[in-house]
């Protein structure tokens, strides 16, 4: 720290300590505590780049930052969204609070463009994931299904019933059953056509087909889009979707034949009222089947579309937004942990000196700074993924379905988006879960307090690794896509940009870092491409060998599960690394250096974690792997200097951080103590003092039974 | 499945389905659901070993199994311990319930031998970690401190006050402060001797010195053992311990000068009433300082003992028991996930056939079976660690403190126990957290239900990675011990058995698997020793090089943090592998084969995860690493056949498993649905229907304001 900086910091510390009015904080400049606010202020003087520029770069431009800031203001000033008591709410309180917030959110949703609402949702989700889900159940799942699967006439009808505004009706989405989650095609609820009355009979044949995990079903929904097997004249046409009224929208009494219950306590997201639903011979008009794709006419004639795959395009939206959520949520928690690390002091090397900031310990840097770098990697890949997805959707909308050649091209692209989004969803939601966990641990005991925000967020978050495609299954599916792509390339096709490395297999096979400088985009990109190529090739070759042995394709895929999983993992890491380097190329000169340091740290830390594969591919020598470990230490030290300014660039206000130990001012102990006291006002005795504690502590010994007295007199 | 087995299974299935009386379960033999109970029964017919023998082996003999079973019966029949509603309790309910359980537990604790109580605590901890902590605060921390640090006279006095029975007094333990956790020597609460009145003045000088996280302080404790800096005649003698009365045991009113508050909601363990405590010039008699080691007499003369390290011996107990807890808790969760996997079916390869058990998928085996193997590794290392600790304690008790030569030997052994227990505590508590998380994910969506048990357990568990020595700090400390041991060996000392590999560095440096069979105890042990030797040597050599460059020992240790961490991690893994093989040698012939498969799986899976290090050490070739990946698949398939019998051998009753999806009978869907319905009885409307839902859904559009009407007439 140069003398100018320390003078500024000292002045600032003096200024700030004036503002501490409570008697308790008068004496905070003692050695162990240091002066947290001054410690934080010093960090900010270290910024080597214009923080605001990095914010604009991350947000996608100054205008987007302005929009986000307007929304943040709207939300944090709204009394319904106040969240100071958020971590103390019981399940029941949380559910009521969540519904109140939805009633408030609707004002915005119905008065702004959809992209703007998306941005708003992503901010809302940052601090209240249960709220996001509960709103999403209606808008993304129920209303999204109507939009994707209803005929235009049906869609207009449901809009006229209030579906777009949650007015007079609230929707939910009955897909998952007790015994079927991943295997959607195996769902067992039936929708049997009754030609006589022109109705479908929706029925739950046994306990395993009970609709389960249905968000909104327990308390809120009046209607559902139900996935059920279409049965017409005894023939099973597979799973289609049907609108089924669940409750009378006036009284909320259940419709005849509908049984609903609350599935109760969950690991997290208690703000959403998940329920179970059983249908007992419930009749709905034939026209309540969503008929954009498959159709059933008055006489029970069934028509099915030639390209039903396109309907799955909609499924990708969820994955794409989860990649974005992963980056967003990681920003929140690396910010908390880095701010805490910048003011928390523990141990001193020289007696009598102020203790050392934990951020200055090498291991602590190692724990947090790669996660900071990873957050950028996730954000940039997410941006890329969203762009791919938007482009695909535009193409789907603009392609004439009868132009089969054009459609074939679209479907190829859809497959690629499927594979990429599957891998990204899986590995970024896991990475985010790991980030919340690791950043919590990095805050020591205080990370375990509910008021630091980690516990609730972890519990709310981790379901992202399971729903909308279990991460393991998605990874296997991405791996399958990669093996197929490898086979295509072997047959002479050209791989698309996402797997460009498959077009240069011959060269990559013998690629080596050689004497080149390791910390460079060229070497690190090539390293990742070489290893991705090696891993995908190995999985592909294993598959080919098993097929030659006579295994069916399904069997050969099953046999190569572990390799497919690895292929998906490494392919996705490679994608994250390459997109990071790509994106930096468009950054301004003032922020490029800090982004470059972060990108090298991310790429090398990731290599270190999979060192075995880089050695097996012979891209790096054993000595170079040791060098990479040292380089990781070095880049951690570099990035450490900019850590607080970088997290400031994430531009999340204290309201969105919602952590007693992660606020902007760094005044951790005061903020934390104040929060604890406000949420837990002193009481003279425990509520169960008279009932339990007192009788226990004041108990007297039982009168000892002298059993011998009971002996018969033997005399 | 041979025909005899399938006939037995079919018969059993028929028998069992007779017992299903509910109408819903009549039709469960349909394709998607299979018949869960029959599926489970089939698994049990596969047992290739006598399950009971494995139970005895794990428990340490038939007699121990009998004792455990008696305790399990006592606990599960006791109405106070009923836990069917456990996952639905609010923080307030949980705290009251926990206190009621303690009032009940005391009956056992005060009437049985301490080792027996330990076993009981470990069972209690399995299902209610908050209860274990809250009891432990009094017995392990408060009472344990009295035993370890009070003079015999003082100890008798506190016993006479009721300390042994929690009668008339309840203790807590004021160590951690808001600003100091890991650095105990830096605590700032003061205990200043007032010679005039023969008292100590206990004082909290500023907010950072507020005692924080104090279990039992918020509601229960009447007394505390407080860590404070001993100040006599202006001189600071460092941190000592003092008994400080907090509340009047009759009324529970706070003593003058004592401020206490509730620290409120935590990520988990809400059954324990953690609080904060501030002392404002609180006076206690001089005799309340615990004076077994350091002493202050009437005139303020301070005597300090020559070997205060011995006092730290007591600290190791906590670590040792956490290693045992890690194994215990892992048993519970691998059992749940494996039972679920044995009956859950999803997808089918052939249309019209019953779907495949998820346990039959290669990737699912990969996710769970190494964790099963790891559970055994943890248990055996824990047994070894406990034995080492007991031996040490016996030696401490039997060595004459004035025999300095004998004491030096004891202290060397203490150091070794410190290093080993530090590494084991860190890496087994992490492994257990990972196990709970991974097993939850392996149960898909249902793993996220509170009633499956994972969420609560994860939240309760993870604090184990932070308290009683943060895992990262412990790992660094273990790494420091290893570097020091390496330096000793370089200077000609012989390494103790725990680091035996350091005695054969020259040979291990060039050791290779060569053409030997990989899946053998000899090769796998040598592999781990070779890599541990390589990693510890590298850390040691880096340290030496830095010292030669002129760095102080502290600086050189800090510079080698990452290497020390790695050394501790690999050393601990090596310990786990070696102790696994050691222990098997004492197993009977009937269970040896299954234990051997598990040990190979554990050792090879661990190699796979650190393949880079084995390649760098050149113990295995790149091709052999590929072979190991294949062998892991193979051993997963082998162990899969015995998976359910192995978990049965853990011998945990349904009460202790406490998971709707993990019960012995395999009847997951019925059990789960029953639990959900019992805990969430149907209600016609949500509690906030009138207040929130109705006004929202039935809202009418606001009357549109026609602002133009307000225009001044321009005419």
Query: Average pLDDT for residues A75-103, to the nearest whole number?
Result: 96
Q: How confident is the model at residue B15 (pLDDT cuts 50, 70, 90)?
A: very low
What confidence category does residue B684 fall into, taking pLDDT thresholds of 50, 70 and 90? confident
Phi, psi angle pair for A235, to nearest 5°: -100, 140
Report the helix count and the strand count for chain A, using DSSP H and E: 25, 11
- pLDDT range class, residue B404, cuts 50, 70, 90: confident
According to the model, what pLDDT value does residue A702 have? 65
Q: How far apart are CA B566 and CA B544, in angstroms?
A: 17
- Catalytic site residues of B? 468
CA B422 vs CA A108, B286, B476: distances in Å: 54, 35, 9
A96 to chain B: nearest residue by CA? B688
pLDDT number for residue B213 = 97
> What is the average pLDDT across B53-81?
96
**SS in 3 state form for B182-243?**
CCHHHCCCEEEEECCCCEEEEECCCHHHCEEEECCCCCCCCEEEEEEEEEECCEEEEEEEEE
pLDDT greater than 50 at residue A349: yes
pLDDT above 70 for B1: no
Residues of A in contact with B448 (CB under 8 A): 266-268, 462-463, 466
3-state secondary structure B496-563: CHHHHHHHHHHHHHCCCCCCCCCCCHHHHHHHHHHHHHHHHHHHHHHHHHHHHCCCCHHHHHHHCHHH
Q: Which pLDDT belongs to residue A691?
A: 96
Question: What pLDDT was estimated at residue B311?
Answer: 62
Q: Is the dihedral of CA A470, A472, A475, A479 positive or negative?
A: negative
The distance in angstroms from the start CA to the end CA of chain B is 97
Looking at this predicted complex, what is its ipTM? 0.94
Give the phi and the psi of residue A318 in degrees, each rounded to 5: -60, -45
Q: Does A696 contact B166 at a Cβ distance shorter than 8 Å?
A: yes
- Interface subset of A 455-474, CB within 8 angstroms of B: 455, 458-459, 462-463, 465-467, 470-472
Q: What is the number of H-type helices and E-type strands within chain B? A: 24, 11
Answer yes or no: is pLDDT of A115 > 90.
no
* Cβ atoms < 10 Å from Cβ of A397: 8
| Domain chopping of chain A, boundaries | 83-305, 315-649
Choose the mutation target among A692, A698, A702 for the interface with B, i.e. most B CBs under 10 Å.
A692
Helix (H) or strand (E) holding A231: strand A223-232
Mean per-residue pLDDT, B387-395: 92
A315-649 and A83-305 share a CATH fold: no
pLDDT at residue B310, as a whole number? 65
B103 vs A695: CB contact, 8 Å cut-off?
yes
Q: What are phi and psi of A287, to 5 degrees?
A: -70, -5
- The model's pLDDT over A441-500, given as tens digits with 9 standing for 90+, comes to 999 999 999 999 999 999 999 999 999 999 999 999 999 999 999 999 999 999 999 999
Residue range B27-46, pLDDT digits in tens: 334 445 679 999 999 999 99
According to the model, what pLDDT value does residue B314 have? 66
- Enumerate the β-bridge partners of residue A589: none
Interface test with A, best of B696, B701, B702, B704 (most A CBs within 10 A): B696
Best residue in A28, A171, A179 for a mutation probing chain B (most B CBs within 10 Å): A179
**B142 and chain A in contact, CB less than 8 A:** no
Specify whether the CB–CB gap between A294 and A240 falls below 8 A. Answer: yes
- Assess whether pLDDT exceeds 50 at residue B10: no
Catalytic residues of A: 468
Q: What are phi and psi of B648, to 5 degrees?
A: -60, -35
Q: Chain A: nearest CA to B62, how far in angstroms?
A: 34
Ranges A94-103, A352-361, B466-475, B695-704: which has the least confidence: B695-704
Could A441 and B471 be called an inter-chain contact, meaning their C-beta atoms sit closer than 8 Å? yes
**Do the Cβ atoms of B673 and A210 come within 8 Å?**
yes
Tell whether the model's pLDDT for residue B3 goes beyond 50. no
Q: How far apart are CA B132 and CA B130, in angstroms?
A: 5
Residue B450 forms contact with A (CB below 8 Å): yes
Residues B629-662: tens digit of each pLDDT? 999 999 999 999 999 999 999 999 999 999 999 9
Residue A490: helix, strand or coil by DSSP? Answer: helix
> Within an 8 Å CB–CB cutoff, is residue B438 touching chain A?
no
Q: Which of B596, B595, B621 is nearest to B607 (CA)?
A: B621
Which positions in chain A touch B450 (Cβ < 8 Å)? 264-267
Which of B274, B271, B275 is closest to B92 using CA atoms? B271
Q: How confident is the model at residue B23 (pLDDT cuts 50, 70, 90)?
A: very low
- Decide the pairing of beta strands A302-303 and A199-203: unpaired
On average, the pLDDT of chain A sits at 92
Give tens-digit pLDDT for B131-175.
Answer: 999 999 999 999 999 998 999 999 999 999 999 999 999 999 999
- Answer whether A356 touches B (CB < 8 Å): no
Say if the Cβ atoms of A264 and B689 lie within 8 Å. no
Greater pLDDT, A15 or A592: A592
Does A192 appear as a known binding residue? Answer: no
**Shortest CB distance from A448 goes to which of B218, B267, B472?**
B267
Helix axes A362-398, A622-649, angle to 10 degrees: 80
Sign of the four-CA dihedral A108, A111, A116, A121: positive
Q: Are A464 and A436 in contact (CB under 8 A)?
A: no
What per-residue confidence (pLDDT) applies to A587? 96
Cβ pair A252:B625 closer than 8 A: no
* DSSP secondary structure, A673-708, as one string: HHHHHHHS---SS-TTIIIIIHHHHT--PPPPP-GG
Chain B: closest CA distance from residue A218 (Å): 8
From A687, A450, A35, A676, select the one nearest B259 (Cα to Cα): A676
* Tens-place pLDDT, residues B481-532: 999 999 999 999 999 999 999 999 999 999 999 999 999 999 999 999 999 9
CB B263 within 8 A of CB B218: yes
Q: Candidates 3.30.230.10, 2.40.220.10, 2.40.110.10, 3.55.50.30; correct CATH number of B168-308?
A: 2.40.110.10
Nearest Cα neighbor of A156 from A332, A337, A292, A53 is A292
A689 contact B CB<8A = yes
Smallest Cβ distance to B448: which of A363, A437, A466?
Answer: A466
Q: How far apart are CA B150 and CA B154, in angstroms?
A: 6
Least CB-CB distance to B670: which of A95, A207, A622? Answer: A207
pLDDT tens digits, A152-187: 999 999 999 999 999 999 999 999 999 998 899 999
Contacts of A691 in chain B (CB under 8 A): 96
Residues 623-652 of A with CB under 8 A from B: 625-626, 629, 632-633
Chain B within 8 Å of A181 (Cβ-Cβ)? yes
B117: tokens are 């109580």
* B704 close to A (CB below 8 A): no
For B385, counting Cβ atoms within 10 Å of its Cβ (0-12 exposed, 13-18 middle, 19+ buried), the class is buried
Tell me if B231 sits within 8 A of B193, measured CB to CB. yes
The model's pLDDT over A384-440, given as tens digits with 9 standing for 90+, comes to: 999 999 999 899 889 887 888 998 888 888 889 999 999 999 999 999 999 999 999
Assign domain B311-649 to its CATH architecture.
Answer: Up-down Bundle (1.20)
At B340, the pLDDT band (50, 70, 90 cuts) reads very high
Closest in B220, B363, B466 to A562, CB measured: B363
Model confidence at A687, pLDDT cuts 50, 70, 90, reads: very high
Q: Which fold has domain A83-305?
A: Butyryl-CoA Dehydrogenase, subunit A; domain 2 (2.40.110)
Q: Taking CB atoms and an 8 Å cutoff, what residues of chain A touch B129?
A: none
Tell me, yes or no, if B691 comes closer than 8 A to chain A by beta carbon. yes
Alpha-carbon distance B346 to nearest alpha carbon in chain A (angstroms): 6
Domain A315-649 belongs to what architecture? Up-down Bundle (1.20)
Partner B contacted by A430 (CB < 8 A): no
Statement: residue A611 has pLDDT above 80: yes
Which residue ranges of B make up the annotated binding site for FAD?
176, 215
Chain segment A265-292, per-residue pLDDT in tens: 999 999 999 999 999 999 999 999 999 9
- Which residues 515-574 in chain A show a CB within 8 A of chain B? 554-555, 558-559, 561-562, 565
Lookup result for tokens 């106070």: B80
- How do residues A245-260 score in pLDDT, each as one tens digit? 999 999 999 999 999 9
Top mean-pLDDT range of A12-26, B180-194, B311-325: B180-194
Q: Label residue A32 by pLDDT band (50, 70, 90).
A: low
Burial pattern A113-139, b for ≥16 Cβ within 10 A else e, equals eeeebebbbbbbbbbbbbbbbbbbbbb
| Confidence grade of residue B702 (pLDDT, cut at 50, 70, 90) | low
> Can you tell me the distance from the alpha carbon of B263 to that of A680, in angstroms, rounded to the nearest whole number?
7
- B169 interface with A at CB cutoff 8 Å: yes
Per the prediction, chain B carries an average pLDDT of 92
Asked if pLDDT for residue A696 goes beyond 80, the answer is yes
- The confidence score (pLDDT) of residue A643 equals 98
């Amino acid at each position: 720290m140069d003398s100018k900086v320390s003078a500024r910091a000292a002045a600032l510390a003096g200024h700030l300590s004036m503002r501490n009015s409570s008697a308790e904080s008068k004496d905070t400049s003692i050695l162990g505590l240091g002066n947290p606010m001054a410690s934080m202020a010093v960090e900010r003087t270290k910024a080597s780049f214009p923080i605001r520029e990095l914010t604009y770069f991350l947000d996608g431009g100054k205008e987007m930052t302005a929009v986000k800031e307007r929304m943040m203001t709207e939300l944090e000033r709204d009394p319904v969204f106040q969240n100071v008591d958020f971590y103390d709410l019981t399940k029941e309180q949380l559910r009521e609070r969540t519904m109140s917030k939805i009633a408030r959110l609707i004002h915005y949703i119905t008065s702004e463009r959809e992209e703007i609402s998306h941005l708003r949702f992503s901010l809302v989700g940052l601090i209240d994931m249960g709220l996001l889900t509960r709103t999403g159940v209606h808008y993304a799942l129920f209303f999204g299904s109507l939009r994707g699967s209803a005929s235009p006439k049906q869609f207009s009808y449901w809009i006229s019933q209030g579906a777009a505004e949650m007015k007079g009706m609230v929707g939910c989405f009955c897909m998952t059953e007790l015994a079927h989650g991943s295997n959607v095609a195996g769902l067992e609820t039936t929708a049997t056509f009754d030609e006589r009355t022109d109705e479908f009979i929706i029925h739950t044949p046994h306990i395993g087909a009970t609709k389960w995990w249905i968000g909104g079903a327990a308390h809120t929904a009046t209607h559902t889009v139900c996935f059920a097997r279409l049965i017409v004249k005894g023939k099973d046409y597979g799973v289609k979707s049907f609108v089924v009224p669940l409750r009378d929208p006036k009284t909320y009494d259940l419709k005849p034949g509908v049984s609903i219950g609350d599935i109760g306590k969950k690991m997290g997201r208690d703000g959403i009222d998940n329920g179970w639903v059983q249908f007992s011979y419930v009749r709905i008009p034939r026209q309540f089947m969503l008929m954009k794709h498959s159709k059933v006419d008055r006489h029970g004639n069934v028509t099915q579309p030639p390209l039903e795959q396109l309907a799955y395009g909609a499924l990708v939206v969820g994955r794409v937004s989860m990649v974005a959520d992963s980056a967003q949520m990681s920003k929140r928690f690396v910010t908390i942990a880095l701010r805490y690390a910048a003011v928390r002091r523990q141990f001193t090397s020289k007696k009598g000196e102020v203790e050392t900031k934990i951020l200055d310990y090498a291991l602590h840097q190692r724990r947090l700074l790669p996660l900071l770098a990873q957050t950028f990697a996730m954000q940039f890949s997410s941006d890329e993924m969203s762009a791919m997805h938007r482009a695909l959707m535009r193409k789907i909308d603009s392609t004439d379905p009868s132009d089969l050649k054009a459609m074939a091209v679209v479907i190829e692209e859809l497959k690629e988006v499927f594979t990429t989004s599957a891998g990204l969803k899986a590995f970024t939601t896991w990475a985010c879960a790991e980030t919340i966990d690791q950043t919590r641990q990095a805050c020591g005991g205080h990370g375990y307090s509910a008021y630091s925000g980690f516990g609730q967020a972890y519990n709310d978050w981790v379901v992202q690794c399971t729903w909308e495609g279990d991460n393991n299954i998605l990874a296997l599916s991405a791996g399958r896509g990669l093996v197929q792509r490898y086979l295509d390339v072997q047959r002479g096709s050209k791989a698309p940009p996402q797997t460009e490395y498959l077009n240069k297999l011959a060269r990559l096979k013998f690629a080596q870092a050689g004497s080149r400088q390791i910390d460079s985009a060229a070497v690190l990109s090539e390293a990742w491409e070489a290893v991705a190529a090696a891993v995908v090739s190995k999985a592909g070759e294993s598959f080919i060998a098993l097929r030659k042995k006579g295994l069916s394709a399904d069997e050969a895929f099953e046999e190569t599960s572990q390799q497919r999983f690895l292929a998906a993992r490494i392919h996705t890491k490679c994608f994250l690394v390459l997109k990071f380097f790509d994106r930096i190329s468009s950054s301004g000169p003032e922020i490029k250096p800090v982004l470059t340091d972060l990108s090298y740290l991310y790429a090398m830390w990731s290599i270190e974690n999979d060192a075995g594969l880089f050695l097996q591919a012979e891209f790096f020598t054993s000595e170079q792997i040791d060098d990479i470990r040292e380089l990781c230490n070095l880049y951690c030290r570099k990035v450490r200097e900019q850590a607080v300014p970088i997290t400031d660039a994430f531009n999340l206000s204290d309201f969105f951080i919602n952590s007693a130990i992660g606020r902007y001012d760094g005044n951790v102990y005061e903020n934390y103590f104040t929060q604890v006291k406000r949420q837990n006002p002193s009481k003279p005795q425990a509520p169960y003092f008279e009932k339990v504690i007192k009788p226990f502590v004041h108990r007297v010994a039982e009168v000892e039974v002298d059993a011998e007295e009971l002996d018969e007199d033997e005399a």
